[in-house]
């Protein structure tokens, strides 16, 4: 794993003028910053959860190849711990996006409205806390 000037780990594939190698990495980074800014969690809480993810036994061996996968997993874990999103809601949302992606013509932006099973709210009929929180985005 490459270390930045502040001795923080960062992916080995990062070029100085291009910090993200995939668009989703920039998106999950920006979402994390935004959720902190609106008070969902503190940087201390983030650092603790992210640090555990980086030290997890199945993390990539020092090459940084899974850095943003670890980042994403830490964000998911922290949102679950804070009661913002349950694992079930996360799994349902991920499945809906996957179905939407599979139903979207090649070269077109993926839109959750393309989910062939629809965009219905959970069985409770109530919006989840994460749906309410994403209204802030």
pLDDT tops 80 at residue 21: yes
Q: What is the pLDDT of residues 38-83, one digit of tens each?
A: 999 999 999 999 999 988 888 776 667 789 999 999 999 999 999 9
Q: How high is the pLDDT of residue 65? A: 78
Q: CA distances (Å), 53 to each of 9, 35, 78, in order?
A: 12, 19, 11
By CB atoms closer than 10 A (0-12, 13-18, 19+), residue 49 is: buried
With H, G, I as helix, E, B as strand and everything else as coil, classify residue 91.
Answer: helix
Report the pLDDT averaged over residues 88-106: 92
Whole-model pTM?
A: 0.67
């Amino acid at each position: 794993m490459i270390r930045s000037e502040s001795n923080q780990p960062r992916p080995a594939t990062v070029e100085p003028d291009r910090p993200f190698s995939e668009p989703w990495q920039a998106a999950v980074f920006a979402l994390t910053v935004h959720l902190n800014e609106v008070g969902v969690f503190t940087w201390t809480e983030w650092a603790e959860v992210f640090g555990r993810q980086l030290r997890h036994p199945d993390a990539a061996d020092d090459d940084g190849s899974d850095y943003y996968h670890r980042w994403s997993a830490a964000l998911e874990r922290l949102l679950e711990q804070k009661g913002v999103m349950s694992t079930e809601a996360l799994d349902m949302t991920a499945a809906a996006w996957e179905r939407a992606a599979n139903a979207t013509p090649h070269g077109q932006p993926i839109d959750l409205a393309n989910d062939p099973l629809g965009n219905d709210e959970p069985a409770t009929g109530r919006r989840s806390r994460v749906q309410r929180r994403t209204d802030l985005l």
